[in-house]
Amino acid sequence: MTRRRISILGATGSIGQNTIDLIRRDSKAFDVVALTGASNISQLACDAIDLQAEVAVTAHQDLLPDLKSALAGSDVEAGAGQTAIVEAATRSADWVMSAIVGAAGLAPGLAALEAGTTLALANKESLVCAGGLLLETARKNDACILPVDSEHSAVFQSLVGEDIESVERIIITASGGAFRDWPIEKLAQATPEQAASHPNWSMGQRITIDSASMFNKALELIETKEFFGVSSDQIEAVVHPESLIHAFVGFRDGALMAHVGPHDMRHAIGFALNWPKRKQLPVERLDLAAIGQLNFRVPDEKRWPALRLARDVMDRGGLSGAVFNAAKECALDGFIDGRIGFPKMAEVVEEVLNSINPSHIDAKMTLDNVEQADHVARHAARALIEKRAG
């Protein structure tokens, strides 16, 4: 069996560590080329030495001496800074995991595609900010993008052997997050600690708060449109408190295919890692009789205005996704820092979307213009948050 050369961008995070777990369990199948991280130097160095990676890179230039000393005595090269991450992403590999969080994941993912490498894409912000650019780069370089977000992996798996033309609708599920049963009037008093406690599983603070506000689902609706190329009126979200069905694909003959599985990201990661084969994965096998029943509800857009904003972004197109994502990241910072209340996050994002000069949204989709739209939106969002907090 030929060993596959793989790299993990964002190796120290939740998705990165789950990817490493799968690689360790099947170590004869892979050679690790590059691992990247940010401030968790000991984790990065430890994994790079253990997996005999060629190179380990931290996003922070000032942490290079720490990384070098943590790697001392090993054969692993050390690198630092965004340019070094992009360089790591383009080292000869068969498969690259894009699991950096936020818009910082876009440039390295694009670089991997330019090198013709298969990109396993967990970094949903890349598709939201620059879906067209990412897909075009993949097409031009004969590279493949495999979705890792669980809903999109579920849709992708439901589409194997199907014709996208026969798809009538795509429904992605949402847990509803921490506040799905709170009275709407109480949301203004919600604290970051309350928003960061997920009813079904444990994730990082930011993505958990994004689940409570449904900004995470809003990003995923946009991601669905960009990746599968369907129109916004073919895409829906449904609240499914058990979170065992990840997505449905409805076909024009009325058939509805559901992807059912445990909430364990190693399923979607493992599917992308082994694609087009399926290998055994260490995930729970569901006992349907013990589960008993599954429930679904229409998401209330008064409770979760982020869903309405996502529809607006899908209809506007252009660089509005980059504006939306940047404004959302700033609004989330404002909520976490106690400067704005929970419902104000959506108000800030909506105001930024409406106030931004259309020239930024209509600009050609290049990496520079995406970064410019991101920059302008962050500036506008921070100014609004200052005004509201003051």
Per CB under 6 A, residues contacting ligand NAD are 10-16, 37-38, 59, 85, 99-101, 104, 122-125, 149, 203-204, 207, 265
- Closest approach, Cβ 59 to ligand NAD, in A, equals 4
Smallest gap from Cβ 373 to ligand NAD, in A, equals: 18
Q: Which does 265 bind (CB under 5 to 8 A by kind): Mg ion, ligand NAD, none?
A: ligand NAD
Q: Are 45 and 34 in contact (CB under 8 A)?
A: no
Long-range CB contact pairs, 346-349, < 8 A, 24+: 346/213, 346/215, 346/305, 346/306, 346/309, 348/381, 348/384, 348/385, 348/388, 349/215, 349/306, 349/309, 349/324, 349/381
Q: How many CA atoms lie within 13 A of 382 on its CB side?
A: 7
Q: Which residue is nearest to ligand NAD (CB)?
A: 13
Which does residue 125 touch among ligand NAD, Mg ion, none (CB within 5 to 8 A, set by kind)? Answer: ligand NAD
Distance CA 128, CA 314 (A): 9
149 lies in the site for Mg ion, by CB under 5 A = yes
Q: What are phi and psi of 33, to 5 degrees?
A: -95, -65
- Please report how close the Cβ of residue 13 comes to ligand NAD at its closest, in angstroms: 2
- Residues in the interface with Mg ion (CB under 5 A) total 3
The residues near 345 (Cβ < 8 Å, ≥ 6 apart) are 213, 215, 328, 331, 332, 334, 335
- Of the candidates 303, 138, 285, 163, the one whose C-alpha atom is nearest the C-alpha of residue 226 is 138
Which option in ligand NAD, Mg ion, none does residue 59 bind, with CB closer than 5 to 8 A by kind?
A: ligand NAD
Phi/psi of residue 255, nearest 5 degrees: -70, 145
- Shorter beta-carbon distance to Mg ion: residue 58 or 173: 173
Query: Which residue, 101 or 373, is less far from ligand NAD as judged by CB?
Result: 101
With respect to Mg ion, which residue has the nearer C-beta, 151 or 226? Answer: 151
* Smallest separation, CB 44 to ligand NAD (Å): 8
Tell me the closest approach of the beta carbon of residue 5 to ligand NAD, in angstroms.
20
Residue 223 found at the interface with Mg ion (CB under 5 A): no
Residues that bind Mg ion in the complex, under the rule CB under 5 A: 149-151
